[in-house]
């Protein structure tokens, strides 16, 4: 079984925050691939389904961002999921809006959700970094990530979410490079279509 984790904050007031793009990614995957209904457990919301031949559990921790690791650790231990089978979707300040990069391990770059997951799980899990752009000044970061996406963001956000969902079976098979390439290809096509 693979564990796909989306990072975000619980509650309606945070639902459309940039910081919650990990939750949004999982919601689109669950809907597009016909996963079961979300259930409350492991201090989070989970749902199960298949991506091609792979059984996948989706998890949205409900502990608030900086305690995400409690939920992730509990889930991984219960199902005996190896760290190499965990994929975490999260917002990334250091990537331009709409860019998606995948890596295994590495630093957490001040991301409190990743810091918490690493403290409970170790470092060698896969991260899907979803670019939200940087506000330019360090003191504006908190306001930036906790602010809602604006209408203009939908032009890149929706295509990226759907492209990640389309390519999700590749991630489930561990084919991170093919996943990244497919997402880039689909979103480039979308943005070009929008400018013609």
For the question of residue 19 being annotated catalytic, the response is yes
Alpha helix positions (H), the chain? 21-32, 68-79, 112-121, 141-145, 154-172, 176-195
Q: Residue 113 and residue 156: Cα distance in Å, rounded?
A: 24
CB 102 within 8 A of CB 176: yes
Q: Would you tell me how many other CB atoms lie within 10 Å of the CB of residue 39?
A: 11
State the catalytic residue, choosing from 19, 33, 111, 144: 19
Kindly list the distances between the CA atom of residue 103 and the CA atoms of 111, 120, 123, 143, in Å, as whole numbers in the listed order: 15, 19, 11, 26
Q: What is the DSSP letter of 43?
A: T
CB 59 within 8 A of CB 5: yes
Residues annotated as catalytic (active site), given as ranges: 19
């Amino acid at each position: 079984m693979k564990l796909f984790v989306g990072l975000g904050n619980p509650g309606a007031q945070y639902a459309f925050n940039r910081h919650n793009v990990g939750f949004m990614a999982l919601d689109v995957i669950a809907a597009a691939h016909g996963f079961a209904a979300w259930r409350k457990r492991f201090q989070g919301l989970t749902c199960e389904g298949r991506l091609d031949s792979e059984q996948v559990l989706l998890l949205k921790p409900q502990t608030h961002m900086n305690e995400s690791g409690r939920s992730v650790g509990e889930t991984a231990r219960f199902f005996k999921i190896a760290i190499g089978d965990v994929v975490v979707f999260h917002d990334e300040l250091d990537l331009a809006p709409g860019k998606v990069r995948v890596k295994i391990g590495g630093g957490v770059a001040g991301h409190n959700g990743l810091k918490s997951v690493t403290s409970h799980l170790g470092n060698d899990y896969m991260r899907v970094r979803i670019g939200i752009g940087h506000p330019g000044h360090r003191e504006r970061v908190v306001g930036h990530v906790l602010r809602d996406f604006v209408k203009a963001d939908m032009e890149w956000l929706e295509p990226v979410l759907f492209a990640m969902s389309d390519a999700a079976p590749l991630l489930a098979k561990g084919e991170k490079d093919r996943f990244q390439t497919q997402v880039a290809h689909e979103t480039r096509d979308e943005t070009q279509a929008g400018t013609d």
